Amino acid sequence: MRHLKYIFALLILFFILHFENEYIAGIKVSHIWKIFIAFLLIVFIFLLSSKKKFGNFPNTVIWGYLFAIWPFLVGLSSDNPTYDFFSTGQRFFPILFFHFYCLLNQKINLSTKFLIYFALFVTVSTIPFFLGLTQQIGKTYDLSRLGDYSGHSFVGIFQNPHAASISVSFAFIIIFYFFLNERNKKLKWFLGTTCLFLFYVEIMTMARAGYISLAAGVIFITIKNYKNLRKTISFLFLIFGFGILLYSTIDYSLLETRILGETKYRKSSDIDSISSGRFGLWADSFSIISNQDFIYFIGGIGLHHYRIAMYDEVGVFLFAHNGYLDELAIYGLIGFMLLVCFLASLAKDIKKSYHKTLGHSLLLAIIAFNFFQGFSFPLQLIVFSPFISRTPFYRPR
């Protein structure tokens, strides 16, 4: 009965995420359900906190709240604060979940189950789309832009390829970690097969920032396991399996074209193409930062004015596709330092957990993803909840 409850809850989550891009009464579904859940989290946090006082509260949650509230404070001085208020709402969602999980985990050790359920949910959620049982609703990447190809990138239940890619990367890293540490042969085969499938899904998202984040997490785990020959050999066999899978299912020319950043309009493979113009955007963003008045360099100019400044630089409303430069330009040195403190505190809390290798590999993945894309995927951050709870993340028996 307990498992049926979990399955029912995950089915509801599947349909909610799948229809996030739809609108109800002019309001996006993704906003409706997050506001509703955030309200429930606030209520539960209040109820749990009122029953018992908890000492030694995780610093990650404290820094997280400061990181989340800063865009709101910057927005108060803006003539168009809508974007900044929305940014605060985006950031508050995972921090509220962190807070709730820390209080809840005083009574229930959910750590390993939470991570496994997260990874399996992402994995299973992709199957209906590959079987053709349902159609993708999220924004996809049109492969015809790359040349003589057809079809679209994979997004599954997510809103866009980047949200899908970081979710699949996290799922892969979690499964891969437990694959290396599993002794049961049947379960090891299951985890290994799941890794192969998730790697294929990751490739099909066509999001290179996701590729980099996955590689960062896997390399970190591999380095940390270098002393164990059995695990290293298992990893090499897994890579061999990846090669077989790619050879039989992926058009190498398509993958190569995407990685090199070529399109049917741009055939060169120079550094600008490979980065999809990111280096140019980084330079434009840095120019905006360097030309700011001192007060705005410290406190930030706000998202609305940053969009206008980038439009003046490149002719379109774009971000730098680098979350650290964007943070420094939009919310100033204070916002940037709050981000650094939040990530540093998260790394410190992860170090206290038993599965710190897994936690740090996930953190490295999100840091790499943020470097090449941005920090605007709050739903995926909840995967760090088990690592910041006051209850140590012990190895399951």
Mean pLDDT for the stretch of residues 102-127: 80
Rounded to 5 degrees, what angle do the CA atoms 351, 352, 358 make?
Answer: 50
Query: Which range has the worst mean pLDDT, 3-7, 113-117, 219-223?
Result: 3-7
Whether 41 and 97 have beta carbons less than 8 Å apart is answered as: yes
Three-state SS sequence of the chain: CHHHHHHHHHHHHHHHHHCCCCEECCEEHHHHHHHHHHHHHHHHHHHHHHHCCCCCCCHHHHHHHHHHHHHHHHHCCCCCCHHHHHHHHHHHHHHHHHHHHHHHCCCCCCHHHHHHHHHHHHHHHHHHHHCCCCCCCCCCCEHHHHCCCCCECCCCCCCCHHHHHHHHHHHHHHHHHHHHHCCCHHHHHHHHHHHHHHHHHHHHCCCHHHHHHHHHHHHHHHHHCCCCHHHHHHHHHHHHHHHHHHHHHCCHHHHHHHHCCCECCECCCCHHHHCCCHHHHHHHHHHHHHCCCHHHHHHCCCHHHHHHHHHHHHCCCCCCCCHHHHHHHHHHHHHHHHHHHHHHHHHHHHHCCCCHHHHHHHHHHHHHHHHHCCCCCHHHHHHHHHHHCCCCCCCCC
Confidence of residue 396 (pLDDT cuts 50, 70, 90): very low
Measuring CA to CA, how many Å separate 208 from each of 169, 261, 370, 377? 11, 9, 12, 16
Give the integer Cα–Cα distance in Å for 269 and 146: 13
Q: Return the pLDDT at 3.
A: 64
Q: Return the pLDDT at 394.
A: 44
pLDDT digit string, tens, across residues 52-96: 555 567 889 999 999 999 999 988 888 888 888 888 888 888 899
Mean pLDDT for the stretch of residues 370-393: 74
Question: Is the pTM above the cut of 0.85?
Answer: yes
Give the integer Cα–Cα distance in Å for 396 and 203: 32
Q: How far apart are the first and last CA of the chain?
A: 23
Percent of the chain past pLDDT 90, that is, above it, reads 17
Whether 112 and 78 have beta carbons less than 8 Å apart is answered as: no
Q: Return the pLDDT at 244.
A: 59
Confidence of residue 168 (pLDDT cuts 50, 70, 90): very high
Q: Return the pLDDT at 372.
A: 82
pLDDT digit string, tens, across residues 326-357: 899 889 899 999 999 999 999 998 888 878 88
56: buried, middle or exposed (CB in 10 Å: 19+, 13-18, 0-12)? exposed
Confidence of residue 12 (pLDDT cuts 50, 70, 90): confident
Give the integer Cα–Cα distance in Å for 112 and 120: 12
Q: 3-state DSSP call for residue 99?
A: helix
Q: Return the pLDDT at 360.
A: 93
Mean pLDDT for the stretch of residues 298-320: 81
